[in-house]
């Protein structure tokens, strides 16, 4: 028996191909949306992996430093270094801001790190790590910065000495690593007017400006102009010590919150990007419904255009299942064309997206199965219409 | 098949009522008709006389209300269908030729004709061979690979006749097969139907309004108000 569906598709190939391309672009968008979600999850994992930390020590009762603001004193790390099982510990700050390069600016996360300590980018694709205490930066390639660029963070200029990749914040902003002291200053830097105002107010406060206590006012003002806070301390454990075993004494004795890598992954994936993933999930549902509606409409229209031929087929003895099979195969054929176009489109345009888009083969396989199921369901309407056709219609009257 | 059902068509007292009660309409009021194998008869009558209803009953696409129909020695209807699989009955025992050819537009000429034996489960090669033989007999074999849209009206109708004949049915029902054709082509179609009826011993009923072809029938059934009466035709050949 010849394939009626195959012959019909070959005969009206233009209609099928153009419809398939339209559907394919929609499927491409769907696959890309799934890729955006996968990219967010992967970015989160890579972010944790590249930080080189086993533990994140943050302010008590917070989900910091990525999901919630966290502020701890910058000398806390010294005490942590003395805790059992701690190999290395270093302060780190995170601040999302606009980083300027000439006339343009880039949304980025400025990360204050201690050169050589945990938190430093794990590997570079060009240049070198930060070696000076001030005004050097290592930038993620997604920022668009190049080696030797002079970028501006707040009032200070930094020279880009190294480039890294896959170091982005949970919201996809590329990271720019700068020395910790610079980052602390940038985080709490006030403009000159505010500094003058603050000094005037402090001098006007009789509690800080006592005639009988010389030097008190200067000391208070000096303390106000320094930032002695960081967002977190990143800890590397010694070999042979489990993360939880090292974390527990820090929680108990330092009265700080400590997260292991597993817990931090849970925060990043389940909490921080939960809303985004729901958003993407909604998009996927809507796109699936739109795809189904398009396939149903196209197949239904194609079937209605063949009512007379279907009546003739039924009159000359074609089984209902042969006619239903023809329509189902056409719907599946349309889905196949759409999926191939969609997969190619998604693969071609994914690198152009500002955020990392991870197209996983597993998602493609699941997407293919979903497309076929959607197409099969979408063909039900057309099959019903075809099965209702009375063979007597072929005779007319 | 023709060798099994070789006694043509016998219809007695066939009625068809649409609706019920006060709104009931009697489309057929006791039709009697006999067509022998190898014979081509005309069925003529004004619009609304019951021609199409009779054709649909004969084609087993609507159920008569009463009466009997025999194809060869088999009673297919007697106050109810006597055959379960009407689809197979249509496929194997009845050929249809329509006013428009209604060829399947996405199949070439050969496969349009070969589709029926393929639907009946015959191998593709055998079905195509049988189709090509018929196309040869109907003088359209040179268009065997063409698509229906590439054929003239006359060629399409000849392909439709080949499709009706391909399963060697004992009966062919032709519904105004010459309506869209000019006189010359219309007469050519009737000549072909006569030739095929003789060659394959098929009983053919041609429903027509076409004054050009009415003189070609040896027997004509006139239908009016759901009743038929038979008269002798001229049987002209127009060679």
Within-domain flag for B51: yes
Q: Do A315 and B61 touch (CB under 8 A)?
A: yes
| Contacting residues of B for A391, CB less than 8 Å apart | 61, 90
In this prediction, what percent of chain B has a pLDDT beyond 70? 96
B92 with A317: Cβ contact below 8 A: yes
**Are the Cβ atoms of B96 and A315 closer than 8 angstroms?**
yes
Count of domains observed in chain B: 1
Specify whether A36 is located in the same domain as A95: no
Look at chain B and count its residues: 239
Cα A229 to its chain centre, rounded Å, is: 28
ipTM of the complex: 0.81
Continuous H helices in chain B:
51-58, 86-93, 109-119, 124-137, 153-165, 183-200
Whether residue A195 is contained in a domain is answered as no
Kindly state whether residues A157 and A65 are assigned to the same domain: yes
Q: Which residues of chain A neighbour B90 with C-beta distances below 8 Å?
A: 315-317, 391
**Domain of B174: which CATH number?**
3.40.50.300
- Domain span holding position A349: 4-43+275-394
Q: Find which of B61, B125, B174 to mutate to test the A interface (most A CBs within 10 Å of its CB).
A: B61
- Residue A223, both tokens: 């303390």
For residues A163 and A80, state if they share a domain. yes
A65 and A37 part of one domain: no
Per the domain annotation, does A215 fall within a domain?
no
> Residue A318's closest chain B neighbor by CA?
B119
Q: Does B163 fall in a domain?
A: yes
Per-10-residue mean pLDDT, chain B, length 239: 62 92 89 92 89 89 92 85 88 86 91 90 92 89 94 89 88 86 83 86 90 88 90 71
Contact B163 A316 (CB under 8 A): yes
Contact across the interface for A11 and B91, Cβ inside 8 Å: no
Domain that holds residue B183: 36-60+86-232
The answer as to whether A21 is a domain residue is yes
CA–CA distance, A347 with A80 (Å, rounded to integer): 46
Q: State the Cα–Cα distance between residues A297 and A291, nearest whole angstrom.
A: 10
Contact yes or no for B224/B46 (Cβ under 8 A): yes
User: Residue B216: which residues within 8 A CB-CB, separation 6 or more?
Assistant: B187, B190, B194, B233, B234, B235, B236, B237, B238
pLDDT mean by block of 10 residues, chain A; 397 residues: 86 87 91 90 84 92 87 92 93 92 92 91 92 94 94 93 90 91 84 87 89 87 82 94 93 91 88 83 87 85 87 87 91 91 95 89 92 90 91 76
Give B169's contacts in chain A (Cβ within 8 Å). none
Give the C-alpha separation, A25 to A48, whole Å.
34
Residues of A in contact with B175 (CB under 8 A): 395-396
Residue A396's closest chain B neighbor by CA? Answer: B52
Long-range (24+ apart) CB contacts under 8 A made by A187-194 are A187/A93, A187/A95, A187/A112, A187/A227, A188/A227, A188/A229, A189/A154, A189/A155
The verdict on A111 and A19 lying in the same domain is no
- C-alpha span between A114 and A136 (Å, rounded): 12
Are the Cβ atoms of A317 and B147 closer than 8 angstroms? no
> Would you call A395 and B104 a contact, using CB atoms and an 8 Å cutoff?
no
Torsion angles phi and psi, residue B77, rounded to 5: -145, 130
Same domain, A160 and A104: yes
The reply to whether A246 and A129 lie within a common domain is yes
A179 and A285 together in one domain: no
Please indicate, yes or no, if residue A135 is contained in any of the structural domains: yes
Q: Is residue A121 part of a domain?
A: yes
Q: Domain check: are A29 and A66 in the same one? A: no
> Are A394 and B102 an interchain contact pair (Cβ–Cβ within 8 Å)?
yes
A16 and A123 inside one domain: no
Task: Give pLDDT, residue A274.
Answer: 81
A148 and A294 in a single domain? The answer is no
- The answer to whether residue A107 sits within a structural domain is yes
Domains identified in chain A, total number: 2
Does A246 lie in the same domain as A139?
A: yes
DSSP summary character for residue A161 = E
| Residues A152, A110: Cα–Cα separation, whole Å | 11
Shortest CB distance from A395 goes to which of B52, B91, B119?
Answer: B52
């Amino acid at each position: 028996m010849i394939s009626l569906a195959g012959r019909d598709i070959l005969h009206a190939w233009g209609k099928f191909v153009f419809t398939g391309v339209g559907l394919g672009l929609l499927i491409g968008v769907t696959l890309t949306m799934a890729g955006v979600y996968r990219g967010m999850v992967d970015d989160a994992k890579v972010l944790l992996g590249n930080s080189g930390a086993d533990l994140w020590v943050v302010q008590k009762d917070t989900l910091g430093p990525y999901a919630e603001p966290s502020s701890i004193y910058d000398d806390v790390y010294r005490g942590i270094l003395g805790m059992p099982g701690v190999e290395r510990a270093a302060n780190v700050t995170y601040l999302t801001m606009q980083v300027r390069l000439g006339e343009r600016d880039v949304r980025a996360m400025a990360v204050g790190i201690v050169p050589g300590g945990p938190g430093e980018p794990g590997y570079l694709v060009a240049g070198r790590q930060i070696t000076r205490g001030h005004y050097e930066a290592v930038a993620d390639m997604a920022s668009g910065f190049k080696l030797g660029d002079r970028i501006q963070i707040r009032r200070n200029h930094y020279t880009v000495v190294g480039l890294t990749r896959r170091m982005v914040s949970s919201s996809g902003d590329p990271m720019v690593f700068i020395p910790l002291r610079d980052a602390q200053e940038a985080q709490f830097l006030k403009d000159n007017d505010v500094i003058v105002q603050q000094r005037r107010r402090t001098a006007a406060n009789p509690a800080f400006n006592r005639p009988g206590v010389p030097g008190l006012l200067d000391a208070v003002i000096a303390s106000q102009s320094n930032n002695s806070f960081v967002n977190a301390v990143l800890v590397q454990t010694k070999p042979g010590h489990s993360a939880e075993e090292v974390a527990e004494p820090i929680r108990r004795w330092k009265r700080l919150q400590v997260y292991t890598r597993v817990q931090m992954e849970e925060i990043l994936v389940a909490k921080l990007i939960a809303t985004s993933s729901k958003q993407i999930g909604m998009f996927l549902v809507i796109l699936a419904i739109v795809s189904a509606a398009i396939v149903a409409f196209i197949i239904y229209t194609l079937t209605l255009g063949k009512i007379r031929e279907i009546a003739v087929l039924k009159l000359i003895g074609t089984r209902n299942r042969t006619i239903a099979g023809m329509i189902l195969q056409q719907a599946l054929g349309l889905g196949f064309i759409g999926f191939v176009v969609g997969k190619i489109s998604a693969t071609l345009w994914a690198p152009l997206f500002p955020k990392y888009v991870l197209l996983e083969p597993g998602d493609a396989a699941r997407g293919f199965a979903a497309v076929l199921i959607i197409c099969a369901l979408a063909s039900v309407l057309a099959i019903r219409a075809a099965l209702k056709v009375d063979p007597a219609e072929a005779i007319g009257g | 098949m023709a060798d099994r059902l070789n006694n043509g068509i016998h219809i007695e007292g066939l009625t068809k009522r649409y609706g019920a009660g006060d709104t009931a309409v009697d489309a057929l009021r006791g039709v009697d008709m006999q067509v022998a194998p190898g014979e081509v008869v005309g069925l003529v009558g004004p619009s609304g006389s019951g021609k199409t209803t009779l054709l649909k009953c004969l084609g087993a696409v609507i159920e008569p209300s009463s009466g009997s129909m025999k194809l060869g020695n088999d009673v297919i209807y007697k106050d109810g269908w006597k055959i379960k699989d009407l689809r197979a009955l249509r496929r194997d025992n009845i050929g249809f030729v329509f006013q428009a050819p209604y060829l399947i537009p996405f199949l070439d000429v050969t496969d349009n004709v070969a589709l029926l034996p393929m639907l009946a489960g015959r191998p593709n090669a055998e079905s195509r061979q049988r189709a090509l033989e018929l196309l040869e007999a109907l003088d359209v074999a040179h268009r065997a690979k063409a698509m229906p849209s590439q054929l003239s009206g006359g060629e399409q109708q000849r392909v439709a006749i080949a499709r009706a004949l391909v399963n060697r049915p004992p009966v062919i029902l032709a519904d105004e097969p010459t309506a869209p054709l000019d006189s010359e082509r219309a007469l050519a179609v009737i000549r072909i139907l006569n030739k095929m009826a003789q060659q394959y011993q098929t009983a053919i009923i041609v429903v027509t309004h076409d004054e050009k072809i009415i003189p070609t029938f040896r027997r004509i059934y006139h239908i009016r108000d759901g009743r038929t009466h038979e008269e002798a035709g001229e049987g002209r050949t127009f060679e």
